[in-house]
Amino acid sequence: MVITEFLNNIWYLLSLTTKPLIFWEVLPLAIITILIIAYFQLYKNEKPGWNTYLSNSLVLIFISVSLIKFVYTMDADGIANFTDFPSKTVAIIILIGLGIFLTKFNFEHLLPEKYAIPISSPITINLIAYAVILFVHSESSLKWINLVSLIIIVVGLSILFNLIKIPFRYFFIYFEKEKHKERIENIKEAKLQIDELKKEVKYREDEIIKQQFRNAEKEKKEAIKIEKTLQDKNLKKHKKRK
């Protein structure tokens, strides 16, 4: 019975995502999370810096402002809604307080970086924001079953996002191998072209040398012929004088 109630509550909370108001609020979080996961799987040697942690923590403040606007405009009571829906107000206060706390610590580098990495990661930040968005937009009050359901959703999605890293990792490894093969093929092709050019240059050099040799032989023969002609003329002149 309790399990069925949990499952129904989890399904109800997740189904809220399909509502246009929530969907367009959650969609950027999902896209950013997937893109960041893909980026750091592609560039595994890169590490996020304090500027990244700071940007991630600011997300909680922006989401809190959006949720404050939602509660304020829930009905005509305006600011009175914050007292009419105390559990939603408390959830927003906790979220904005966490956002300010992380922003301060990341801005001033107060936390050791090894703790800042998991706490301010896009998966952690965006899933916390998602859980509070679901709760504030739901019709549920702050009961233990709702709290546990949200924790299960966060843990489940965290596992899912970490599992998404696996196909990204294998895809980029395959992609990098293909790029490496392509580079090898290009190098081989370039080497073949260079070898062909070398052969062509060698052939042309040989042809030029042969042509020069033929020209030299021809000039030599011409010179011998001229020399022989001159000798014949001199010989005839010498005979006439005798």
Cα 242 to Cα 230, 235, 238: the distances in Å are 19, 11, 7
* Close Cβ partners of 8 (under 8 Å, ≥ 6 residues apart): none
Hey, where are the domains in the chain?
2-176
Q: Is 95 exposed, middle or buried (0-12, 13-18, 19+ CB in 10 A)?
A: buried
Q: Cα 24 to chain center, whole Å? A: 23
Percent of the chain with pLDDT over 70: 91
Dump pLDDT digits (tens) for 83-137.
Answer: 888 888 899 999 999 999 988 888 888 878 788 888 888 888 999 999 999 998 8
Question: d(Cα 173, Cα 211) in Å, to the nearest integer?
Answer: 56
pLDDT, residue 86, reads: 86
Question: d(Cα 137, Cα 152) in Å, to the nearest integer?
Answer: 18
Dump pLDDT digits (tens) for 163-184.
Answer: 888 888 888 777 777 777 778 8
Dump pLDDT digits (tens) for 194-211.
Answer: 878 888 888 787 778 777
Q: Which candidate, 113, 160, 183, places its Cα nearest to that of 14? A: 160
127 contacts 121 by C-beta, under 8 angstroms: no
Q: What angle do CA 54, 98, 162 make, to 5 degrees?
A: 65
pLDDT band, very low/low/confident/very high, at 142 (cuts 50, 70, 90)? low
* C-alpha torsion angle, residues 40, 44, 46, 49 (rounded to 10): 50
